[in-house]
Amino acid sequence: MSLSQEYYTAAGKRMPGGVNSPVRAFGGVGGEPIFFEKAKGAYLTDVDGKRYLDYVCGWGPMILGHAHPAVVKAIQECAKEGLCFGTPHPLEIALADKIIDCMPNIEMIRMVNSGTEATLSVLRLARGYTKRQKILKFAGCYHGHHDALLVQAGSGALTFSTPTSSGISPAVIQDTLVAQYNNLDEVSDLFSRFGDTIAAVIVEPVAGNMGCVPPVPGFLHGLRKLCDRYESLLIFDEVITGFRIAKGGAQALYEIKPDLTTLGKIIGGGLPIGAFGGRKDIMEHLAPLGKVYQAGTLSGNPVTMAAGLATLNQLSEPDFYERLNTRTTYLVNKITELAKKAEIPLVINQAGSLFTLFFTTASTVQHLEDVHTSNLASFKCYFHAMLKQGIYLGPSAYECAFVSSSHGEEEIEYTLQAIDKTFSTFLSSIK
């Protein structure tokens, strides 16, 4: 028995499934989760000393790679001065300024401790501001695990085929409307029926929780126009895309002005974080200024602020995104060539340094129904074949692969060799 297996047995006695977040549990791919204890650059090292090339990157935060010296130093320097004050701290201003400089549609911001907390809070704000109740989301999009949005959700909720979790009161989700991603007709129809009761539309501007599914041309602009017409708010959930696909996030890339934005992951540099922000006239409805209550013991924690600031400063390096996204495009194009050579039906969706392989004969994957045409057996085979070759992918067909700036030419070439071998030997048995 490996040390990882021993840890898994011990963990299972204390934590449901031996994990603190379901998607880590390998439920979507079979086998036992691996326990890791070190990470540096593009690599993870498990408790048995085996090194893996990492394409999970903490599910997004580690865009610089693991344990970046500037980020570690910032955390160490800040921690020496104190960990948790429960008071305002200058670093909260510094990170807020940095985020707002990069994402000017965010006029004011509130720091929280997770993406879930950010979307939970932003919904309350939207309802408080508009005095309306209904929220419109998209099937396969995941906005964290709070009740109102855990309806036909993506990510782990999809992996475990529990699109709507148990334990949720029907009263809570009666105000949650669901449309198909990239389907403006469905959105328009829901607006024509419920328009003046819809507080907000919340959308992942590039969906990252049913695998990577970018918006089709006109989809996001169409949402903006419908929200304007019915005086509902447009919320971009940029917990994944914020500072990932561009310095200004998807809203900069697609030139759309959401009313509110949620962030997380990268802005905390690997420490627990979330944030929401947007139009000043809306944000001023938040306590202590307004009547929409929201609070958090560790919100704006100085050590987290320091980690986030050090990370965003590195992202401001010239050409950072051009280099990262170009390298990802090279990888994706080469994988496409390898799949053609092996005659394996495959659609790869990419957005910046996010990508997902869909083992499907469909020509495109533009929403959850398309995603469901994927061959899950092929994905499991691909996942384990790559794991055997020391490449750690997200253990679910409904997640993205994340590339970091630590993934250099050597890492990319090794990945392509592993995929070539996987396609030519492992997958041929089930294509």
Order of strands, sheet of 354-358, starting from the edge strand that comes earlier in the sequence: 347-351, 354-358, 401-402
Query: Cα dist. 328→101, 174, 348, 356, 397 in Å?
Result: 26, 41, 12, 11, 19
Return the residue of 18, 28, 65, 115 that touches ligand KE4, per CB under 6 A: 115
Q: How far apart are CA 92 and CA 76, in angstroms?
A: 17
Instruction: From the candidates 237, 254, 380, 382, give the one annotated as an active-site residue.
Output: 237
Return the residue of 130, 155, 356, 422 that touches ligand KE4, per CB under 6 A: 155
Question: Of residues 203-222, which lie at the interface with ligand KE4 (CB under 6 A)?
Answer: 204, 208-209
Nearer to ligand KE4, 276 or 423 (CB): 276
Query: Cα dist. 244→45, 57, 114, 208, 353 in Å?
Result: 24, 12, 17, 11, 7
> Smallest gap, in angstroms, from Cβ of residue 379 to ligand KE4?
16
Q: How far apart are CA 198 and CA 234, in angstroms?
A: 11
Residue ranges in 244-342 assigned as alpha helix (H): 249-253, 280-283, 302-315, 320-341
Backbone angles phi, psi at 108, to 5 degrees: -140, 155
Report yes or no: 135 and 148 within 8 Å, Cβ to Cβ.
Answer: yes
**x/- string (CB under 6 A) for ligand KE4, residues 233-272?**
----x-xx-----------------------x--------
> Smallest gap, in angstroms, from Cβ of residue 119 to ligand KE4?
6
> Smallest gap, in angstroms, from Cβ of residue 275 to ligand KE4?
11
Instruction: From the candidates 98, 137, 265, 380, give the one annotated as an active-site residue.
Output: 265
Nearer to ligand KE4, 207 or 331 (CB): 207
For 108, residues 6+ apart whose C-beta sits below 8 A from its C-beta are 277, 278, 280, 283, 284
> Smallest gap, in angstroms, from Cβ of residue 33 to ligand KE4?
12
**x/- string (CB under 6 A) for ligand KE4, residues 327-356?**
------------------------------
Q: Select from 28-36, 109-117, 334-342, 374-382 the region that touches ligand KE4 (CB under 6 A).
A: 109-117
> Smallest gap, in angstroms, from Cβ of residue 58 to ligand KE4?
9
* Secondary structure class of 99 (helix, strand, coil): helix
Return the residue of 399, 402, 412, 415 that touches ligand KE4, per CB under 6 A: 399
196 flagged as catalytic: no
Cα–Cα nearest to 197, from 112, 260, 136: 136
228 flagged as catalytic: no
Q: How far apart are CA 250 and CA 228, in angstroms?
A: 19
Q: How far apart are CA 411 and CA 55, in angstroms?
A: 11
142 flagged as catalytic: yes
Q: Does 54 bind ligand KE4 (CB under 6 A)?
A: no
The catalytic residues are 142, 237, 265
